[in-house]
Structure 1
Amino acid sequence: MERSQLYWNQLRSGTIATAQPNCNGQTLSKMILPLPPLAEQKRIVAKLEEILPLCERLK
């Protein structure tokens, strides 16, 4: 799994320095999250629509 340096940099810069580091909703709401191109998003949705019924049958 690829780890996004952008994500971790943003998280570290918004972390509140306490005994137990934490970030709040405001920090998370300002984060830039790259999305795959629309064509890839559509392929992902198509694959999920294909496999989700199979998952439901396993329940």
Structure 2
Amino acid sequence: MMNVFISFVVSCVLSLVLFICAWNLARTIIFILFRNPLKLVAVGIMVHIVLINWNGYRII
């Protein structure tokens, strides 16, 4: 019973740490992109292409 609790706590802490890291990374990327609008457009196009390829059909 104790092992299950410990593994649960460890998984919660790990997911929290991952979330914080991802959030900081995303914030940094957004900050860099908003300073350079051209990069924002380029990333938007890239994301659009990835989404089309992932779904196998056009979204827009």
For the superposition of Structure 1 and Structure 2, which TM-score range results when normalised by the shorter chain? 0.3 to 0.5
Instruction: Considering Cα pairs closer than 8 Å and 6+ residues apart, tell me whether 1 or 2 has the greater RCO.
Output: 1
After TM superposition, the score normalised by the length of structure 1 is 0.35
Q: Which has the higher helix share?
A: 2
Rg larger for: 2
